[in-house]
Amino acid sequence: MMSVQNLRRRLSGNKIIVIGLCLVLLSCNAFRLVPETKGGNTEPVKNNPTDQTETTETTKEAPSESGEMNEKPEKESNRLKTIEFFGEKYQVAPHKDQFRIALILPFFYDAQSDIEKRTSEVMLDYYMGVRMALTELEASGFKVKFWVYDNKNDTNELKRILKKRELQSMDIIIGPIQAAHMAIVSEFGRDQKIPVFSPFTSMGDLPSNNSRFYSPSPNMEARANRVVDFMKKNYPKQKLVIIRDGSSYEKRIVPELLNALKADGSISYKVENYDRKLLWANLLSSTDTTIVYIPTNQSVVVNSSLGKIFSTKRGVVVLGEDAWADFEDNDYNFWLSLNVHLVATDFINYDDPAVATFRRTFRDTFVMDPSTYAYTGYDQMRFIGDFLMAFGEHFPAYINGHDFRYLGANYHFEERSGCNQNTHVFILRFRDQKLIPVE
């Protein structure tokens, strides 16, 4: 057996105590922290619907969302500021330096059922990562008023929250999580001209287009396109065999993959239904390497298929899903012999000094190890905060088409299906007893 860092590692520590404290604080609105305009102190925000953040008005027009600057007199053009952001230089118009952010998630601070309790735990993990990012951002001068709402996965509760007066003047709204609820918030954000971030839900499309909607979780189309790109770059002449097992995941990803393969037209492929009696020797080339993609999260299907493939003694590269790393009793030396690669939407390099620092600080703060959801919350909040500090209200003009690497995620947004979607997907392989990305 070979020891490999689990992609979805979740260590408990004193988690029950921390979650209990967080739930009590959330129930009394103690999470609504507002940095003062002067100094670095914070104080609780009272639920005051007339509370507003003052912003500095400027006469300089923002760039258009296409990235082009609107024409202004030469005197005003001189007011543009050159900044360096992720290694690139940008001309940035004057912008506000104080911001208002709303986080709407189903925290279920009064959770009753097991599903509600599990959802509450995940949301609080995410929120802990958000708080870690906010602490760092505030130390760097980020001025923000931050509201936290519990929509309880309830449509009526969500609509009640959106009627609050303070929601109309937000600079960003993050959440909630259900696709139907994201569509409601998207429509609200579009009408109020407020950017909306979907923290978990991969939105394939929206009922109505929204150029201010951002989906940082790559969808099935992005995963499928990454598989095709991987094939074209690394195995352009090899045959691809796709195994369907009838699972709900497979039914979502395979149609997107077939669309991508047909659109490309250069890759030879064959689709087979999973069967324990499947004759793998007839599917795999005896003279060349065959690429086998098994898009399922069912361990029984995976283990059975890998065993049968190994028995053929044929040359293969097996593509699978990142969830495979969560299977119990994985034999990674066996996986190495089959050249197993995993398709993943995130990747945490535990050898990265920045990751090690985050883990230490998280442990000191919450007396527990960060979960994957904590990394997600941290990355997304750092991404949002970094952009607001750099570009202010003009940030939509600068996001798309660039790469931004954080602890666990890469962000590369493109306008797709009427919104802005993160299209970066990792292909991971095992080497030196750990997972590493394939460039």
Counting Cα atoms < 13 Å in the Cβ hemisphere of 255 gives 7
- 358/223 Cα distance (integer angstroms): 28
Which residue, among 167, 164, 162, has the nearest Cα to 183 in the 3D structure? 162
Taking the CA atoms of residue 138, residue 139, residue 141 and residue 146 in that order, the dihedral angle to the nearest 10 degrees is 10
pLDDT for 431: 84
Q: Are 358 and 132 in contact (CB under 8 A)?
A: yes
Instruction: Give the CATH superfamily of 220-344.
Output: Response regulator (3.40.50.2300)
Compute the Cα dihedral for 400, 223, 188, 389 and give only its sign.
negative
pLDDT for 72: 43
What burial class does residue 97 get, using C-beta atoms within 10 Å of its C-beta: 0-12 exposed, 13-18 middle, 19+ buried? middle
pLDDT for 11: 37
pLDDT for 22: 55
Helix, strand, coil share of the chain (percent; to 5) = 40, 20, 40
Q: pLDDT (tens digit, 9 = 90+) per residue, 385-425?
A: 999 999 999 999 999 999 999 999 999 999 988 899 999 99
pLDDT for 247: 96
Within the chain, what is the greatest distance between any pair of CA atoms?
76
2 residue type, one letter: M
pLDDT for 18: 54
pLDDT for 203: 78
Residues of the chain with pLDDT below 70 are 1-78, 205
β-sheet with 426-431: strand ranges across: 269-273, 240-244, 290-293, 316-321, 340-344, 426-431, 434-437
pLDDT for 435: 87
- Indicate if 220-344 has the same CATH topology as 15-54+92-217+352-424: yes
Would the pTM of this model clear 0.75, i.e. be above it?
yes
Taking the CA atoms of residue 330, residue 333, residue 336 and residue 337 in that order, the dihedral angle to the nearest 10 degrees is -110
Q: Could you tell me the residue ranges of all domains in the chain?
A: 15-54+92-217+352-424, 220-344
Q: Are 121 and 19 in contact (CB under 8 A)?
A: yes
Q: What are phi and psi of 83, to 5 degrees?
A: -125, 155
Neighbours of 44 (CB within 10 A): 11
pLDDT for 78: 54
pLDDT for 310: 95
- 207/209 Cα distance (integer angstroms): 7
Q: What are phi and psi of 169, to 5 degrees?
A: -115, 20
Which residue, among 315, 312, 290, 292, has the nearest Cα to 238 in the 3D structure? 290
Neighbours of 291 (CB within 10 A): 22
Out of 3.40.50.740, 3.40.50.2300, 1.25.40.10, 2.120.10.30, the CATH code matching 15-54+92-217+352-424 is 3.40.50.2300
Q: Are 370 and 130 in contact (CB under 8 A)?
A: no
Residue 372 token pair: 């994957």
